[in-house]
Amino acid sequence: MRNAALTLGPIGGLWGMLVGFFSFGYTDLLIRFPELAEITGGVANMAMIRTMSLAAPILAIAGAAMARSANLVGGVLLLVASAGMYLAFGFGVFTMLPISMCALAGLLALAARRPDPH
């Protein structure tokens, strides 16, 4: 289970990083061109989107890296990353994969009680 968390976590984190790049870039465009918000509708909480664009992928990758040695801490970090992505970006076409993979990796890391057999 720890190896599965170690595999799923970075994949979810990298996909989350891709979503974060575009989200951060979109909020940067809204800051530079405020009239764009009138056309597109803007965003409700820009600070949370910008924060989670950076923090959630880092938490996911760090949690996956810890999944083998400190599975409880790694699992919690993966679940926090998943929840952060869900709250900031919502559940849609581009976010369903990173949210689901990070959540599954977090649950697998938490469920691993003893080291995996080799």
Residues 73-96: tens digit of each pLDDT: 999 999 999 999 999 999 999 999
Residue 87 CB neighbour total at 10 angstroms: 13
The boundaries of the domain holding residue 10 are 2-111
Amino acid type, 99: I
Q: Where are the alpha helices (DSSP H) in 41-111?
A: 46-66, 71-89, 96-111
Is residue 107 domain-resident? yes
Encoded tokens for 10: 């970075």
3-class SS of residue 114: coil
Give me the number of domains the chain comprises.
Answer: 1
The single-letter DSSP state of residue 44 is S
Q: Would you state the pLDDT for residue 63?
A: 95
pLDDT tier at 41 (50, 70, 90 boundaries)?
confident
Amino acid type, 4: A
Is residue 118 domain-resident? no
